[in-house]
Structure 1
Amino acid sequence: MRRLIFALIVMGLAFTSAKASTGNEVLEGCRLLAVTAFWPQAANSFRAGECYGVLMTWAREGRRLSGRVRSCIPSSVTAGQLAKVVVRFMDSEPSILNEDFTGIVIAAFALSWPCD
């Protein structure tokens, strides 16, 4: 099921014109965001910002998606909690790390917070 959802998302995102960041490129920034109570002042702070932007966008916009990729994240969930979910998903599925980071986020959210 996880692989099917992820495959559908990646196929849909494969046609974007800009070069998308991969899970590998953003993973360490997401790790910082997941464990740091303040904005990270480190070498990966750019990637933490990138992670934050993608997480917050899809936490809000996931409800607008349809089918199995739709997610319904409670408004009380913090950016740190979102990052922990995505990092855990990437750690559990290392074969996806070279895929588009946005697709990884959408898949992790859909699996963690499916809509009823």
Structure 2
Amino acid sequence: MAHKAIYALMVAGLATSGNANAFSGNDLIKWLPEYEQGTSLNSGMYLGYVSGVADIGNNILFCAKSTVTRGQLAAIVGKYLRNNPESWQEEASTLVTAALEKAFPCPEAPAKNK
């Protein structure tokens, strides 16, 4: 639980509510076709953003195996974005995390007996 709180603080530092510079799902969905075609700087923005959030959140909020590629992560996030257009106004980090939590849930920790 402490790891989740630390992660939440880290993400909040990257993209705080009300920050005019915070990226949203609208940015990600705009960059996605360019990433898929590899046609512009925005293709790197998409992959870099997804990779950065994945690096910070892995083994804290979601548990992707080390064999999962950055391309797979990008494809999973892209699928999530396309299936959830009603959420595009949300912060990009929230959407990337939601997609990866859904795809790679962490195993439940065994209950501790006191």
TM-score normalised according to structure 2 size: 0.68
For 2:105, what is the secondary structure of its paired residue?
coil
Shift of 1:76: 1.4
Q: Letter of the aligned partner of 1:113 in structure 2?
A: F
Match of 1:29 in 2: 31
Larger Rg: 2
For the residues of structure 2 that align with 1:57 and 1:85, how far apart are their CA atoms?
Answer: 15
Higher relative contact order (CA 8 A, sep 6+): 1
Code of the residue aligned with 1:21 in structure 2: it is F
Question: Displacement, 1:47?
Answer: 2.2
* Structure 1 consecutive aligned stretches of length 4 or more whose deviation exceeds 4 Å: none
User: 5+ unaligned residues in a row in structure 1: which ranges?
Assistant: 1-8
Q: Percent identity?
A: 26
Conserved 8 A contact 2:59-2:106: no
**Could you list the runs of 5+ residues in structure 2 that have no partner in the other structure?**
1-7, 108-114
RMSD over aligned Cα atoms: 2.4
- After superposition, residues 37-116 of structure 1 pair within 5 angstroms as 40=38, 42=39, 45-63=40-58, 65=60, 70-116=61-107
Change (3 A) 1:97 1:57: same
Task: State the aligned residue count.
Answer: 95
The residue type paired with residue 43 of structure 2 is A
Change in 2 beyond 3 A, CA 1:20/1:111: same
Q: What code does the residue aligned with 2:83 have? A: S
Tell me if the contact between 1:26 and 1:47 (Cα under 8 Å) persists in the aligned partners.
no
Provide the residue aligned with 1:5 in structure 2. none
